[in-house]
Amino acid sequence: MSKVIAHSLFTEFDINLFKLGKHYRLYEKFGSHIMTVNGVQGTYFAVWAPSAKSVSVIGDFNFWNEEEHPLNVRWDASGIWEGFIPEVGKGSIYKYKIHSHHNDITTEKADPYARRYEHPPKTASIVWEDAYNWKDAKWMQKRKKHNAINAPFSVYEVHLGSWKRKIEEDRSLSYFELADELVAYVKKMNFTHVELMPIMEYPYDPSWGYQLTGYFAPTSRFGYPEEFKLLVDKLHQNDIGILLDWVPSHFPEDAHGLGFFDGSCLYEHPDKRKGYHPDWKSLIFNYGRNEVKSFLISNAIFWLDQYHADGLRVDAVASMLFLDYSREDGEWEPNIYGGRENLEAITFMKELNEEIYQSFPDVQTIAEESTSFPMVSKPTFMGGLGFGMKWMMGWMHDTLLYMGKEPIHRRHHQNDLTFSMTYGFTENFLLPLSHDEVVYGKRSIIGRMPGDEWQKFANLRLLYSYMFTHPGTNLLFMGGEFGQHDEWNFQGSLDWHLLQYDYHSGVQQLVTDLNKLYKTSPALYEKQFDADGFEWISYDDHENSVITYIRKGSKEKDILVVACNFTPVPREEYRIGLSVKGVLKQVFNSDDKKYGGTGDFKSSKIKIESKEYHYRNYSAKIKIPPLGTVVFEINS
C-alpha cells in the first residue's frame, strides 16, 4: 500500500472563511473524497484537529496500523490535517487516530463528515460516494413557486424504524421498501409533507435518533445513502415534501463521536455550565467558536443541497436559547448583560436561517420551541430568529388538557380551548400532535379521550377537526391518524391490524378527508398565519361548550364557517350570527357515518336569514352533532 501523498482541497479563501465561521459548504472539503491525483486513484482525507500532534488514518486497508498513513498538518495554523491515500476507494472502512498535545491523550474517532457509517453497534466510517440520478426536477421547480406561508402544509411525522415492520423477519422496512409503501400511504392520506425523526447516523436506538454521531450520513439501519435519496425522490415525484429533524442542540459522549475529539473540547463548550446537558447527559456545541458554526450550518445546508430536503425541523431550540435551561441557581452563568439568553446560540440561529433562506428560499426551517421567546419565526432584519415556523406548544398543551376532561366539566374550562387565539398570530405557528405526546405514560391521543368507546372516537374526530380548521399549519404523529390505542413503541410497529375495525378506519378516513378539505380550501391556508384570515362568531358559549368561527381566504368568496360542539348533547337548532346573505352548504361533518359517527345530524342547504344575532345583521340555524364539528361554505 502506498503512503500518503500531499494534496489539498482547501484554498486560502476556504481557510479564511472557515476561521471566520462563514464557510457553509465544508462537506465539499472535509471528510473522505474519492479522486484521482497524478493519474492515481485513491481517497483524500481531511479532518480538523487543532490540538493534535499527529493524526493517522487507520482502517481495513492498513490493518488499523497508525504508522501506515499519517496525515499532514497544514502550515496555516488552521488545525486541518489532510492527505491523499492511493488505492483506497469506495467501501473502505476507517477512523482517525489522534494523538493530542493534551496529556498525551489518544482518541480514535469516526469522521465527522463521513457520508456513510457502519451499521450500529459498529462505529467506523466508510468511504462513500454515489452517483444518484435525481428525477424530481418537476417538484423542485414547483417548490420554487410554492410558498408555505400561504399554501397547504400538513405534516405526517414518522419514525422510520417503527412505522411498519416485516414481522416474519423481525426487521424494519428498508429505504427501498419505504419508497413504495410509505410514499403510497402518505399520498393516499393527502398529507403534503412527511417529517422524519432523525435519520442521521446515531448509535443508540432508544435515543430515537436524537443523539447523533454521523451528522452527514443517513443511518445505515435502513440501507445505503442512495437508497435514502430514492425515498426522497419518490416522495417528490408524488408531490410530497420531506422535512428532516435536525439536532444542533447537543450530541452524545460516545467515544467515537465529536466529544473531546482531539483531546480537547473541540466541538463542545469547555465550560460545563454551557457545554453539558443535564437532562440528556450529552454535550452542547460551542456556538461561539467560528469553526463549529461553520460545521453546523454546513450540515444543515448539506441535507438541503445533497438530499433535496424541503425543510428542517430544528430540535430543542428552547434548550439553546437559555443559559439556565434545566439548571438550578448556581449552575449557570448570566450573559455579559446579566440576562439568561445564550447570545452566542442566538447569533448562530440567526446566521443559520439567513444562509438557508438565501441559498434555498423555497424551503422551511421550523423551530421546536416551547417558551415565550419573542419573534422566533420573524425575519432577522426585523430582529427575529429567522425561522419559517414555530411549533405551537401552548395550543397542544391547552387543547389536550381540555379534551381530556369529561364533557360535563368543559363548560368551566372553555378558556383553555380559546386562549390560543389571543396569541395565535404572533408567530407562524404549526400545531403539533407529535411523538412527544404519546410516550412516557402520557397515553396515546385516543387514550386521553374520556367516555365510552363511541365518545372516545367522537372526541378524537372532534379534536382533529378543530385542529385542521384552526389557523396555522399542522402535524400529526404516525398512528394518530387511525386512533392507535397503545403508546408509541420505537421497537415495535404501528398496530395496523386495528384498521379492520370501523372506528379506526373511520378516523383514518376522517384525517384523509380533513387533509383534502384543507388542501382544497383557500380559506384554510391562504391566511393561516394572518389575523385577517380568522374571525370569531362566538367563543363564550360556555354553557353549551360550543365555539363557532369563520376562516377566510384572499378572495371575498372564500369563506368557511366552522362550528364545534364539545358535549355529547346535539345542538339541532343552534343559531349563529353572520355578516353576509346567502346559503350555508355543509362541506364537512365529523359525525358522518363513514367516520364512525351517527350520520343523524346532516344539514342540507340552510338559508341565511335577515335576523340580527351575535352583533351581525344576519343569522342561520344549524345542526351541530354531539361531540362533532361541521363546516359550511357560503353560497350566494
CATH number where 299 lies:
3.20.20.80
Sequence letter at residue 9: L
> Would residue 231 count as lying in a domain?
yes
pLDDT digits (tens, 9 = 90+) for 343-356: 999 999 999 999 99
Which domain-ending residue is among 358, 391, 424? 391
Please list, in sequence order, all residues whose beta carbon lies within 8 angstroms of the beta carbon of residue 108, skipping any fewer than 6 positions away. 58, 95, 96, 97, 98, 255, 256
Of the candidates 68, 226, 227, 315, the residue annotated as catalytic is 315
**200, pLDDT greater than 90:** yes
Beta bridge partners, 341, equal 322
Q: How many CA atoms lie within 13 A of 502 on its CB side?
A: 10
pTM: 0.96
- What domain range includes position 587? 531-635
Mean pLDDT of the 84-98 span: 97
With beta carbons less than 8 A apart as the criterion, state whether 532 and 523 touch.
Answer: no
With beta carbons less than 8 A apart as the criterion, state whether 514 and 470 touch.
Answer: no
> 177-181 — which CB contacts under 8 Å span 24+ positions?
178/222, 178/231, 179/227, 179/230, 179/231, 179/233, 179/234, 180/234
Please list, in sequence order, all residues whose beta carbon lies within 8 angstroms of the beta carbon of residue 547, skipping any fewer than 6 positions away. 414, 417, 418, 536, 538, 539, 541, 563, 564, 566
Assess whether 170 and 53 both reside in one domain.
no
pLDDT at 2: 55
**582, pLDDT greater than 80:** yes
Which domain-ending residue is among 330, 364, 391? 391
Read off the pLDDT band of 203 (50, 70, 90).
very high
Please list, in sequence order, all residues whose beta carbon lies within 8 angstroms of the beta carbon of residue 358, skipping any fewer than 6 positions away. none
pLDDT at 103: 87
Packed helices 225-237 and 175-189: angle between N→C axes, nearest 10 degrees: 20
Q: How many domains does the chain have?
A: 3
User: Does the annotation mark 368 as catalytic?
Assistant: yes
Which domain-ending residue is among 94, 111, 126? 126
Mean pLDDT of the 524-540 span: 97
pLDDT digits (tens, 9 = 90+) for 547-576: 999 999 999 999 999 999 999 999 999 999
Provide the percentage of residues in the chain whose pLDDT is more than 90.
95
**481, pLDDT greater than 80:** yes
**168, pLDDT greater than 90:** no
Mean pLDDT for the chain? 96
Assess whether 122 and 154 both reside in one domain.
no
Residue whose C-alpha cell reads 494523538 in the numeric block? 99
Assess whether 197 and 335 both reside in one domain.
yes
Read off the pLDDT band of 628 (50, 70, 90).
very high
> Would residue 82 count as lying in a domain?
yes
Of the candidates 14, 226, 344, 368, the residue annotated as catalytic is 368
> Would residue 89 count as lying in a domain?
yes
With beta carbons less than 8 A apart as the criterion, state whether 450 and 404 touch.
Answer: yes
User: Does the annotation mark 315 as catalytic?
Assistant: yes
Assess whether 179 and 308 both reside in one domain.
yes
Nearest to 49 by CA among 124, 113, 123, 115: 113
pLDDT at 614: 94
With beta carbons less than 8 A apart as the criterion, state whether 470 and 395 touch.
Answer: yes
Assess whether 106 and 187 both reside in one domain.
no
> Would residue 215 count as lying in a domain?
yes
Assess whether 113 and 181 both reside in one domain.
no
Mean pLDDT of the 261-284 span: 95
Assess whether 122 and 157 both reside in one domain.
no
Greatest pairwise CA separation for the chain in angstroms: 91
pLDDT at 145: 81
Degrees to nearest 5, angle at CA 440 with 437 and 446? 45
Mean pLDDT of the 238-242 span: 97
**414, pLDDT greater than 80:** yes
Assess whether 245 and 160 both reside in one domain.
yes
Query: Do you find a cis peptide bond into 121, omega within 30 degrees of 0?
Result: yes
pLDDT at 636: 81
> Would residue 516 count as lying in a domain?
no
Mean pLDDT of the 432-441 span: 96
Q: Measured between alpha carbons, how far is 240 from 245 in angstroms, rounded to an integer? A: 16
**217, pLDDT greater than 60:** yes
pLDDT at 271: 93
SS3 content of the chain, % helix, strand, coil (to 5): 30, 25, 45
Assess whether 252 and 380 both reside in one domain.
yes
Provide the percentage of residues in the chain whose pLDDT is more than 70.
99
Q: Measured between alpha carbons, how far is 562 from 603 in angstroms, rounded to an integer? A: 13
pLDDT at 1: 46
Assess whether 220 and 118 both reside in one domain.
no
> Would residue 173 count as lying in a domain?
yes
Assess whether 170 and 265 both reside in one domain.
yes
Residue 213 has a CB neighbour count (10 Å cut-off) of 25
> Would residue 519 count as lying in a domain?
no
> Would residue 112 count as lying in a domain?
yes
CATH number where 110 lies:
2.60.40.10
Assess whether 222 and 82 both reside in one domain.
no
pLDDT at 602: 87
pLDDT at 294: 98
Mean pLDDT of the 126-134 span: 95
389: Cα separation from own chain's centroid: 11
